[in-house]
Chain A
């Protein structure tokens, strides 16, 4: 499998190359070609792996030189964090970084681990690679056009585009490394890289807020990293093996809990959610990347890997409770947001909560649902972020209130946003199918709390998406039009995402049997058909109806002849549907606002209680594990 080093190598090479290219145009071309190469390499790997029988393959037993290089890399990352912490006078990240790197080096020096494979390829890895290469690759292509518009809008920020592109590609490289790793020490190295890069990307604008938020992201992820290195230490001294597969097979509780903590921080679950919406200060492509293809998916990926070991034990209980709780609380907090990107951030946290809850339950059906959710979430979230970013460049605002009547002003972007939103919650799109499966599995495993969380959480999810959608389709003729400044490469990326989304929905049974079923089969040794034929037919009916009903109705309503009149207002309509005569005889401008329920669902009221509650859950379960079980 020569292609693994190639897959990690191409983005790394691009990351090193790009800072040396000063011309924007040349850089853009290199990004196009580079992204294309990454996608091609992934496809090549997929084919060659398929030709070898599509089995799980373990690789690279002897790789001492790389081991040492990675130790050096760990030390370099620690020095970088130390430098940044000292420069901005932060104590916590420095302490955490020194502690974990020190611990890891101590373990490596004082244990002799048996020779074992360092990397592997199996179905889940391949799926992750496809997500990283295609969603991530198209985000990079989108970024070329986006950053032009971004810096045209934000003259106050220093243009550091080469650095930004370099970080994007390095991120992809780290993600490839992470999903291929079988040795936890290797995985830890890539894990740390993603933490540091996300820190650097969040701080891109170097404003006070950006720096503050980037450090908050850093310390939370380093806390997860500390959990990771403690887990490695426990495994190395306790089990004598730091293989991921051995960890799952032996299922020692405390190392599992530490790894789960790492997964929870990275996937921004409560109480560690604040870093993810703090990350919104960065330019949109980095949010798209963090939310869809990379960062948070790394956390979910780790939890999914551990999932078989989490079934029916205390660690699994912790993970699923935190996930379910995050699902409902984040969706409630999303209601009170009017900033488009913040809504997306909370929705990411909330959806990841559902995935984490599935992973924590750890039975075939929930893992099946979780994988499905992950696929759909990556595509539609990436698409939504790109659409919001492009809208922001056109409208100069990403406030949902300003998107009133966007269908008439920026139709193409509105359609893309609409497909993304529909994909996030509407029947019969993928998210809902996964929700169906998850609900059934939670009932089967007898987890009442999770069933109730999911019932309430879907209601609140419905509220904030519908609100947004109905804002978009309002037929409101604004006084002045908007010029669509979205570049062609941005549209290419968004259209491809939209096409993938629709195809995924149409080919759902196919995706289920060829991609998701093998993943589940590999993890649990066997798999049953999660969706019965009856359910599949029902879904087909729904899918056909969602495509056909509005189409037919479109023609029916078009055939109807009608007379258009003005809307009814509290006073006499001035004739433009924008002003009415008030009780003093003057004009009043009509302003329609969405309903945000700020006093009930606002972050100010819900965030701290939920952080404390979830922190207590984690602390209590850790105490139980340390005190009782081990």
Chain B
């Protein structure tokens, strides 16, 4: 029953929470840069404007693939919030990302294709860590099952601080934050226009944005999983930590410049090995 409520809550609230977070993000970013910035509800206005636009497309499959991307993200997130297997959830998340890559490369556009290639590279960069995080939860809580992980006596983060660090590092890719926003960014003035979203416009782009909101909440949900344990007060603590982590990502976004892909790949893989790998070794030795 609880799982059903969580899933329904995720399905309905996630886009709002995601958009709201995005609005806050834009305000904070503006203040950090000494600007006033838009109002907090700006992402909602943007979305409604995108939906009101005429449907212009470069081919007939992009919308289909984008919608599938949204669909899989939603299912993946529902699996997490419904308390099922976290490893399966992460596998499905990669499948969803693959649909985004296909949507971008389906149009034979040079900029979107480069964006798609970089998106694949980014997936390759963060994927080892996500798998190791799932393994970390398995070792800390004895199960891949999210419903059981949240019932553990102590927060998993006590067993896997290294994994949390690594996940904070690589999740900048998922949040599309600098220095890892190679495939696309929030600004259209980069060297390859808007990367994967170059050929997406109007409702298609809105769908992509909504999917990103769902994904954002999904990633924050995994962060929350690090802190939640069987006591009720761990939940507000987890939410506070998630917000703090999100703030740190914004800060990092604003103080760093985007990196060359080689630096991205090697740094992510190295950080994964040093944080999650070492953490894993210790966990297995402790067992």
Contact A475 B67 (CB under 8 A): no
**Closest Cβ of chain A: how far from B222's Cβ, in Å?**
16
Kindly identify which residue among B54, B87, B127, B269 contacts A563, using a CB–CB cutoff of 8 Å: B54
In the complex, the chain A residue whose C-beta lies closest to that of B287 is A446
**Closest Cβ of chain B: how far from A402's Cβ, in Å?**
14
A474-B106 contact given A534-B145, A562-B56, CB 8 Å threshold: yes
A556-B67 contact given A542-B92, A567-B108, CB 8 Å threshold: yes
Binds A, one of B71-79, B229-237, B238-246: B71-79
A545-B71 contact given A470-B101, A568-B198, CB 8 Å threshold: yes
Binds A, one of B39-47, B117-125, B152-160, B212-220: B117-125
Contact A569 B110 (CB under 8 A): yes
- Hey, which chain B residues are within 8 Å of A552, CB to CB? 71
Contact B60 A475 (CB under 8 A): yes
In the complex, the chain B residue whose C-beta lies closest to that of A447 is B284
- Hey, which chain A residues are within 8 Å of B139, CB to CB? 443
- Hey, which chain B residues are within 8 Å of A561, CB to CB? 55
Contact A458 B127 (CB under 8 A): yes
User: Which residues of B in the span 82-115 have a Cβ within 8 Å of any Cβ on A?
Assistant: 84-85, 87-88, 91-92, 94-95, 98, 101-102, 104-113
Contact B109 A565 (CB under 8 A): no
Query: Is B59 close to A, CB under 8 A?
Result: yes
- Hey, which chain B residues are within 8 Å of A460, CB to CB? 124
Q: What mask results when residues 141 to 169 of chain B are scored 1 for a CB within 8 Å of chain A, else 0?
A: 00011000000000000000000000000
Contact B94 A462 (CB under 8 A): yes
Contact B55 A452 (CB under 8 A): no
Interface size in chain A (residues, C-beta < 8 A): 64
Contact A443 B284 (CB under 8 A): yes
Contact A459 B124 (CB under 8 A): yes
- Hey, which chain B residues are within 8 Å of A467, CB to CB? 117, 120
Contact A470 B102 (CB under 8 A): yes
In the complex, the chain B residue whose C-beta lies closest to that of A432 is B91
Binds A, one of B15-23, B24-32, B128-136, B250-258: B128-136
Contact B79 A577 (CB under 8 A): no
**Closest Cβ of chain A: how far from B84's Cβ, in Å?**
5
Contact A463 B120 (CB under 8 A): yes
Contact A469 B132 (CB under 8 A): no
Q: In the bound complex, how far is the Cα of B184 from the Cα of A377, in angstroms?
A: 35
Contact B98 A466 (CB under 8 A): yes
Query: Is B64 close to A, CB under 8 A?
Result: yes
- Hey, which chain B residues are within 8 Å of A462, CB to CB? 94, 98, 120, 123-124, 127
Interface of A is mostly: helix
Determine the interface band of chain B, counting residues with CB < 8 A from chain A. Answer: 35 or more
Q: In the bound complex, how far is the Cα of B124 from the Cα of A459, in angstroms?
A: 5
A534-B277 contact given A550-B64, A563-B56, A577-B108, CB 8 Å threshold: no
Query: Is A415 close to B, CB under 8 A?
Result: no
Query: Is A554 close to B, CB under 8 A?
Result: yes
Binds B, one of A16-24, A318-326, A592-600: A592-600
Q: In the bound complex, how far is the Cα of B116 from the Cα of A471, in angstroms?
A: 11
**Closest Cβ of chain B: how far from A592's Cβ, in Å?**
5
- Hey, which chain A residues are within 8 Å of B269, CB to CB? 456
**Closest Cβ of chain A: how far from B96's Cβ, in Å?**
9
A452-B79 contact given A475-B60, A567-B58, CB 8 Å threshold: no
Q: What mask results when residues 176 to 194 of chain A are scored 1 for a CB within 8 Å of chain B, else 0?
A: 0000000000000000000
Query: Is A564 close to B, CB under 8 A?
Result: yes
**Closest Cβ of chain B: how far from A435's Cβ, in Å?**
8
Question: Could you jot down 11 A-B contacts, CB within 8 Å?
Answer: A427-B88, A448-B280, A462-B120, A475-B106, A535-B88, A538-B85, A539-B88, A549-B68, A550-B64, A592-B108, A600-B262
Interface residues, chain B, with chain A CB atoms under 8 Å away: 54-61, 63-64, 67-68, 71-72, 75, 79, 84-85, 87-88, 91-92, 94-95, 98, 101-102, 104-113, 116-117, 120-121, 123-125, 127-129, 131-132, 135, 138-139, 144-145, 193, 198-199, 203, 262, 269, 272-273, 277, 280-281, 284, 287
Which 7 A-B residue pairings sit nearest by Cβ, starting from the closest? Answer: A459-B127, A553-B67, A470-B105, A549-B71, A475-B59, A567-B109, A427-B91
